[in-house]
A and B are shown apart, each in its own frame.
Chain A
Amino acid sequence: DTAVSQTPKYLVTQMGNDKSIKCEQNLGHDTMYWYKQDSKKFLKIMFSYNNKELIINETVPNRFSPKSPDKAHLNLHINSLELGDSAVYFCASTPGSADSTQYFGPGTRLTVL
């Protein structure tokens, strides 16, 4: 199936831990994103990479570090997790250029205890 996939789907962890979320797309898109959707359902962009280069960083705490080993993968590492990090994290990709339609992964539901 052509899609955007994320792992894990659920992540429950203690405050202070470090965790990673992985994202892969096989759509051949050049641009990938991380979004955070909080309990109020507000979907907010965090980062965007175009062909492995960071192009958008929306004043996210530096405990969050994205990494793009190649244009099909964009991972998110979070250090020293805090209660307020609990949210659903969505990866997305877009063809870019003239088409800014975003295609989302299934989401990772992070709960910090």
Chain B
Amino acid sequence: RKEVEQDPGPFNVPEGATVAFNCTYSNSASQSFFWYRQDCRKEPKLLMSVYSSGNEDGRFTAQLNRASQYISLLIRDSKLSDSATYLCATGGGNKLTFGTGTQLKVEL
């Protein structure tokens, strides 16, 4: 089993839709959780950290479920500019392990 698993997609959604991604992790000792966004041929960029209590940043909501060992990302009112690959990452100390990403395509 991979340490961090994501559905690769693609998720094709119309503009304005709400879309959710999940990411499961196998290391129960993981302490840090993140969502990164990666555009084609670019570097991953931090979208948001994921806190135990859940957190929201504008149209983006991230949640952590330690019991079931998954994190989720909810995007409301999708924009064309949200089209990208979303990578989850978990870890602790100096090491993060990344998932292979979920591709999102937002269409007119």
Chain A nearest CB: distance from B105 CB in Å?
15
Contact between A48 and B100, CB atoms less than 8 A apart: no
* Total residues of chain A contacting the partner, CB 8 A: 23
Interface of B, secondary structure class, is strand
CA distance A110 to B48 in the complex (A): 29
Q: Range of interface residues on chain B?
A: 20 to 34
Looking at A31, A44, A50, A102, the one whose CB has the most chain B CB atoms below 10 A away is: A102
Main secondary structure of the interface of A (DSSP, over half): strand
CB pair B42 A94 closer than 8 Å: no
* Chain B 41-65 per-residue mask, 1 if CB under 8 angstroms from chain A, else 0: 1111110010000000000000000
B104 CB within 8 Å of chain A:
no
- The answer to whether B101 and A41 touch across the interface, beta carbons within 8 angstroms, is yes
Contact with A along B85-103 (1 / 0, CB 8 A): 1010101111111101100
User: Once the chains bind, are A104 and B43 in contact (CB under 8 Å)?
Assistant: yes
Do A43 and B42 form a contact, CB below 8 Å, given A94-B94, A100-B32, A100-B91? no
Q: Do the beta carbons of A107 and B42 come within 8 Å of each other?
A: yes
Q: CA separation between A31 and B93, bound complex, in Å?
A: 11
Chain B residues positioned under 8 Å from A106 (CB to CB): 42-43
Min distance, Cβ A29 to any Cβ of chain B, angstroms: 11
Instruction: State A75–B101 Cα separation when bound (angstroms).
Output: 27
Q: Which residues of A contact B87 (CB under 8 A)?
A: 43
Give A13 Cβ to nearest chain B Cβ, in Å.
19
Binding site for B on A (CB under 8 A): 31, 40-45, 48, 50, 55-56, 90, 94, 96, 100-107, 109
Pick from A41, A96, A107: contact of B43, CB below 8 A.
Answer: A107
Answer yes or no: B34 CB below 8 A from chain A CBs. Answer: yes
Q: Does the CB pair B49–A31 fall under 8 Å?
A: no
Contacts of B49 in A (CB 8 A): 101
CB within 8 Å for A100 and B96 given contacts A41-B85, A43-B87, A105-B43: yes
Residue of A nearest to B89 (CB): A102
A96 CA to B93 CA, complexed, in Å:
7
